[in-house]
């Protein structure tokens, strides 16, 4: 019994010593070390941009059309004598493209001109005789009518010859040739196509809610899959006078310059239209921190410390407006050219020193800025 008491006393004393040592260790202050490097946190920032035409956007789909377009064909049935164009030629208005057989018409025209000369001479002789009262006025009028008839015959033959010479009706680019020399060309047969693609038209439908803002001269932007990220800029040229009672949409037409003739008729184009364009400060969405109903950004500022200028991240409250395609309108809290952090926000704390790489466009690849510095701070 005495042995057991001594054993338990020793065990209790050992437990007491262990507890005292543990409490002393836990009471020591813990100095938290920043993750990775102890220096400034590496971040990427971009300047606040003042956009002159920011606004609510409308997305629509339309099909590109040539400014002027025609399918060339013949008005008469005749054999093809000459072809004066090749596939894809650029032609001017009035250029001769096709010449049809016209020997018969040329011969008839030659005879008609000879007859016209004869009747002109007869009419002049009749005028002289009437002046001398040697010929009746009725005979003079008869010869005048015969002269007019000969002139009409020449005009008809010249029109027939013009029908056998096919010209370009306007400046443009020819399509593929569908006929050959010697072929019998009939009315309606396709010779080729002619398109004026120096400007491109795009018809699209917009919700009637946009009717009050949809007007001629409004800027539009278009993109097609064939040119990936290239943006084509134009204006609204006209708006339909009617709203579709079924879809409640209004048709509009936009015109886009196409000086390099990249766009062709028939392409599916995504139209982006800005409603209520205005001048606004804009930042990328990635710069915004949302806490409940409040919004914040980290602004890069200079801090003088020990005769050195250090960059620090300052948490700043902002008031936001519209959001458009990854961008946010800032109504208050920022000024143009302020630098806001867009990458590295998870590590930054208010007034923390930072090392800044600047993305001027907001679209540079992350690999251009990160490197070993961001990876050392835990950015993967």
In a shared domain, residues 261 and 292: no
pLDDT in tens, 293-311: 899 999 998 877 665 668 8
What pLDDT is attached to residue 263?
93
pLDDT score of 200 more than 70: yes
pLDDT score of 56 more than 80: no
Residue 8 or 109, more confident: 109
Question: Last residue of some domain: 243, 277, 311?
Answer: 277
What pLDDT is attached to residue 26?
45
**Measured between alpha carbons, how far is 96 from 83 in angstroms, rounded to an integer?**
9
**Measured between alpha carbons, how far is 370 from 342 in angstroms, rounded to an integer?**
13
The pLDDT confidence band at residue 52, using thresholds 50, 70 and 90, is confident
In a shared domain, residues 234 and 320: no
What pLDDT is attached to residue 10?
57
Find the CATH number of the domain harbouring 244: 2.40.30.170
Find the CATH number of the domain harbouring 115: 1.10.287.470
- Cβ proximity of 299 and 313 under 8 Å: yes
**Measured between alpha carbons, how far is 280 from 181 in angstroms, rounded to an integer?**
63
What pLDDT is attached to residue 33?
37
375: tokens are: 């990876």
pLDDT in tens, 85-119: 999 999 999 999 999 999 998 999 999 999 998 88
In a shared domain, residues 48 and 63: no
pLDDT in tens, 306-362: 656 688 899 999 999 888 778 899 999 999 889 999 988 888 889 888 888 876 555
What is the percentage of the chain residues whose pLDDT exceeds 70? Answer: 82
**Measured between alpha carbons, how far is 221 from 207 in angstroms, rounded to an integer?**
17
Residues 6 or more apart in contact with residue 65 via CB below 8 angstroms:
200, 201, 202, 203, 265
What pLDDT is attached to residue 18?
60
pLDDT score of 370 more than 70: no
The CA radius of gyration of the chain, in Å to the nearest whole number, is: 43
In a shared domain, residues 369 and 293: yes
Q: Looking at the DSSP assignment, which residues form a beta bridge with residue 78?
A: 185
Q: Quick check: is 106 in a domain?
A: yes
What pLDDT is attached to residue 13?
58
- Cβ proximity of 338 and 48 under 8 Å: yes
In a shared domain, residues 273 and 290: no
Averaged pLDDT for residues 260-277? 87
Q: E strands, 224-325, where?
A: 232-243, 249-257, 268-284, 289-291, 294-305, 308-324
Q: Quick check: is 291 in a domain?
A: yes
Number of domains in the chain: 3
Short-list 60, 107, 131, 41, CA closest to 312: 41
The pLDDT confidence band at residue 175, using thresholds 50, 70 and 90, is very high
The pLDDT confidence band at residue 366, using thresholds 50, 70 and 90, is very low
In a shared domain, residues 308 and 242: no
What string of H, E and C letters represents the secondary structure of the chain? Answer: CHHHHHHHHHHHHHHHHHHHHHHHHHCCCCCCCCCCCCCCEEEEEEECEEEEEEEEEEEEEEEEEEEEEEEECECCCEEEEEECCCCCCEECCCCEEEEECCHHHHHHHHHHHHHHHHHHHHHHHHHHHHHCCCCCHHHHHHHHHHHHHHHHHHHHHHHHHHHCEEECCCCEEECCCCCCCCCEECECCCCEEEEEEEEEEEEEEEEHHHCCCCCCCCEEEEECHHHCCCCEEEEEEEEEEEECCCCCEEEEEEEEECCCCCCCCCCEEEEEEEEEEEEEEEEEHHHCEEECCEEEEEEEEEEEECCEEEEEEEEEEEEEEEEECCEEEEEECCCCCCEEEEECCCCCCCCEEEEEEECCCCCCCHHHCCHHHHHHCCCC
Q: What is the mean pLDDT of the chain?
A: 83
Find the CATH number of the domain harbouring 369: 2.40.420.20
Q: Quick check: is 365 in a domain?
A: yes
pLDDT score of 34 more than 80: no
Q: Quick check: is 62 in a domain?
A: yes
Q: Quick check: is 260 in a domain?
A: yes
Q: Quick check: is 3 in a domain?
A: no
In a shared domain, residues 207 and 241: yes
In a shared domain, residues 293 and 346: yes
Residue 128 or 231, more confident: 231
Residue 132 or 224, more confident: 224
What pLDDT is attached to residue 325?
73
Q: Quick check: is 211 in a domain?
A: yes
Short-list 251, 262, 195, 252, CA closest to 223: 262
Say whether 176 sits in a helix, a strand or coil.
coil
Q: Quick check: is 363 in a domain?
A: yes
- Cβ proximity of 72 and 194 under 8 Å: yes
- Cβ proximity of 280 and 321 under 8 Å: yes
Domain that holds residue 244: 57-67+196-277
What pLDDT is attached to residue 245?
93
Averaged pLDDT for residues 133-141? 83
pLDDT in tens, 14-26: 655 565 645 544 4
Range with the largest mean pLDDT of 205-209, 244-248, 368-372:
244-248
Compute how many other C-beta atoms are within 10 angstroms of the C-beta atom of residue 5: 9
What is the percentage of the chain residues whose pLDDT exceeds 90? Answer: 49
**Measured between alpha carbons, how far is 374 from 155 in angstroms, rounded to an integer?**
85
What pLDDT is attached to residue 79?
95
287: tokens are: 């710069």
pLDDT score of 40 more than 60: yes
pLDDT score of 213 more than 70: yes
Residue 13 or 162, more confident: 162
What pLDDT is attached to residue 267?
93
In a shared domain, residues 63 and 200: yes
166: tokens are: 């096919």
What pLDDT is attached to residue 111?
92
Question: Last residue of some domain: 219, 251, 277?
Answer: 277
What pLDDT is attached to residue 3?
45
- Cβ proximity of 342 and 301 under 8 Å: no
In a shared domain, residues 203 and 150: no
In a shared domain, residues 205 and 262: yes
In a shared domain, residues 261 and 293: no
């Amino acid at each position: 019994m005495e042995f057991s008491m001594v054993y338990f006393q020793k065990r209790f004393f050992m437990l007491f010593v262990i507890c005292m040592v543990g409490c002393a260790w836990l009471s020591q202050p813990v100095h938290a070390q920043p993750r990775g490097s102890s220096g400034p946190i590496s971040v990427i920032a971009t300047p606040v941009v003042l956009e002159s035409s920011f606004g609510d956007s409308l997305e629509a789909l339309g099909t590109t059309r040539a400014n002027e377009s025609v399918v060339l064909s013949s008005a008469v049935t005749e054999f093809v004598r000459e072809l004066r164009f090749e596939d894809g030629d650029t032609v001017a208005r009035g250029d001769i493209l096709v010449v049809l057989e016209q020997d018969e018409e040329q011969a008839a025209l030659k005879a008609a001109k000879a007859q016209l000369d004869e009747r002109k001479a007869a009419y002049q002789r009749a005028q002289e005789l009437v002046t001398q009262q040697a010929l009746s006025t009725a005979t003079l009028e008869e010869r005048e009518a015969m002269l007019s008839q000969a002139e009409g015959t020449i005009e008809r033959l010249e029109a027939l010859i013009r029908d056998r010479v096919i010209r370009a009706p306007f400046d443009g680019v020819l399509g593929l040739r569908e006929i050959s020399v010697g072929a019998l060309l009939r009315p309606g047969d396709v010779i080729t196509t002619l398109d004026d693609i120096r400007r491109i038209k795009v018809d699209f439908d917009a919700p009637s809610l946009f009717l009050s803002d949809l007007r001629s001269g409004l800027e539009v932007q278009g993109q097609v899959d064939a040119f990936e990220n290239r943006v084509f800029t134009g204006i609204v040229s006209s708006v339909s006078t009617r709203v579709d009672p079924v879809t409640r949409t209004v048709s509009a037409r936009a015109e886009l310059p196409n000086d390099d003739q990249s766009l062709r008729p028939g392409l599916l184009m995504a139209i982006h239209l800005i409603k209520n364009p205005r001048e606004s400060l804009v930042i990328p969405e990635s710069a915004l921190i949302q806490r409940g109903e409040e919004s914040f950004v980290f602004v890069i500022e200079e801090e003088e410390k020990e005769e050195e200028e250090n960059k620090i991240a300052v948490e700043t409250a902002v008031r936001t407006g519209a959001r458009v395609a990854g961008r946010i309108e800032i109504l208050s809290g920022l000024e143009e050219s302020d630098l806001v952090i867009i990458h590295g926000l998870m590590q930054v704390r208010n007034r923390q020193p930072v090392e800044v790489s600047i993305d001027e466009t907001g679209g540079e690849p992350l690999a251009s800025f990160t490197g070993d510095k961001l990876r050392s701070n835990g950015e993967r």
